[in-house]
Structure 1
């Protein structure tokens, strides 16, 4: 069974794109007209505004969300029942810390191994890699450990000309054996079984910067 991860640097329903090509690409991997899609809003602290935006997205007729600050009684099995798990943007460091405390990282790994499509934007994109560049610390960009489902380092909302880009460049030069992906807004990468398969964009100027790519 192939394992799929689709990572968005930015765009899709979370950034107001209606019927986004990026969202549709991930959903179509299920082969279902109305796949079961579950949103993890942990990175926003389960913010009601973000949750409502998800339900207003029109992604599917089978939408649900996975709260961790007010978990449902069946929270341990809920993720395993999905076709697509979508992780939203927000504070990556806090999200990963909470996931590890609750064992969500292990559950997500099981879902991945069982063929559930993993998808996400921003924090929900970089979390799947070994390493990610994040602004979770408001004072500076930092490199943090991710879940390690995909080898390498990822940076979302990547424009190639700011402090994040400088850190990306320095890291890639000093770690030549680590593949690095700078993913701009409205660009996405599709990994199959941990290997890069395809780049997808929804705007003409969207792009991905590759360093040390295999």
Structure 2
């Protein structure tokens, strides 16, 4: 069983910790090993510290894998990633993230970890990376990036409700076929996929939503809201 989660929040944006606790609740171990990959932010030290501060107080074993100052050889890198119960990918630049992973072979190792049962998850760029394509500002203006790992069929759009232009730009990309049908994640929502199929959708806010976005067959695109369970209710 292979699983991944798209997060519209977590330790980097939310104070309540509901989405992070939800992720840990789906780990295969009661005290999971959780590895943070801050690649998309250039391994920003403040981001790393925020992750460690949030997860050291939880019932888990947190660690961080930096790549911009890599210290592990290929064998050790593989051992570290395949030993994790959860790989948590931070936000930042999706295109840069994918390029750095491919240079270091991390993309292949994450595929192996995914096939072996490691839960893969992330926010923003850390959600985009798992799909076949994504909606991104990696190049400045909002655009489509048909270049993800493809572990999740279709496409992903993060920050669907919170960043100006996201909703209309993503719908236009899907409508004209620049991106395949996919998932639009509002801030506060999250989705769990098992073997590429939606297994659960949750939200930390009664106003946050997850949408299925697809072509309408007439040159446009439609959004279909997905029922979400309210966490903490």
User: Is the structural similarity TM-score above 0.5?
Assistant: yes
SS at 1:147 equivalent: coil
Question: TM-score, structure 1 length as denominator?
Answer: 0.91
In structure 1, what is the equivalent of residue 4 of structure 2? 5
Task: Measure, in 2, the Cα distance between the counterparts of 1:80 and 1:64.
Answer: 13
Give 1:182 shift. 1.1
Measured against aligned partners, the alpha-carbon deviations of 1:38-67 in whole angstroms (never above 9, x if no partner) come to 000001111110000011003444110101
Measured against aligned partners, the alpha-carbon deviations of 1:168-207 in whole angstroms (never above 9, x if no partner) come to 1112222399322110001011100011112110111100
In structure 2, what is the equivalent of residue 49 of structure 1? 46
In structure 2, what is the equivalent of residue 30 of structure 1? 27
Give 1:158 shift. 0.6
Q: CA contact under 8 A between 1:5 and 1:191: conserved in structure 2?
A: yes
SS at 2:139 equivalent: coil
Displacement over 4 Å in runs of 4+: none
SS at 2:149 equivalent: coil
Q: CA contact under 8 A between 1:131 and 1:154: conserved in structure 2?
A: yes
Measured against aligned partners, the alpha-carbon deviations of 1:135-176 in whole angstroms (never above 9, x if no partner) come to 1122x1111111100111111011188322222111222239
In structure 2, what is the equivalent of residue 91 of structure 1? 93
In structure 2, what is the equivalent of residue 18 of structure 1? 16
Runs of 5+ unmatched residues, structure 2: 215-223, 225-233
In structure 2, what is the equivalent of residue 143 of structure 1? 144
- Greater Cα shift, 175-184 or 107-116: 175-184
- Could you say which structure has the greater relative contact order, defined with CA pairs below 8 angstroms and 6 or more residues apart? 1
Task: Measure, in 2, the Cα distance between the counterparts of 1:23 and 1:160.
Answer: 20
Give 1:101 shift. 1.1
Q: CA contact under 8 A between 1:37 and 1:60: conserved in structure 2?
A: no
Q: CA contact under 8 A between 1:152 and 1:180: conserved in structure 2?
A: yes
Task: Measure, in 2, the Cα distance between the counterparts of 1:99 and 1:131.
Answer: 16
Runs of 5+ unmatched residues, structure 1: none
Q: CA contact under 8 A between 1:18 and 1:57: conserved in structure 2?
A: no
Give 1:72 shift. 2.9
Q: Structure 1 residues 4 and 104, CA, compared in 2 at 3 Å: closer, same or farther?
A: same
Q: CA contact under 8 A between 2:144 and 2:178: conserved in structure 1?
A: no
Larger radius of gyration: 2
Measured against aligned partners, the alpha-carbon deviations of 1:112-138 in whole angstroms (never above 9, x if no partner) come to 000000010110011100000111122
- Kindly report the root-mean-square deviation, in angstroms, between the aligned alpha carbons of the 2 structures: 1.9
Task: Measure, in 2, the Cα distance between the counterparts of 1:8 and 1:143.
Answer: 19
Task: Measure, in 2, the Cα distance between the counterparts of 1:158 and 1:47.
Answer: 24
Q: Structure 1 residues 156 and 46, CA, compared in 2 at 3 Å: closer, same or farther?
A: same
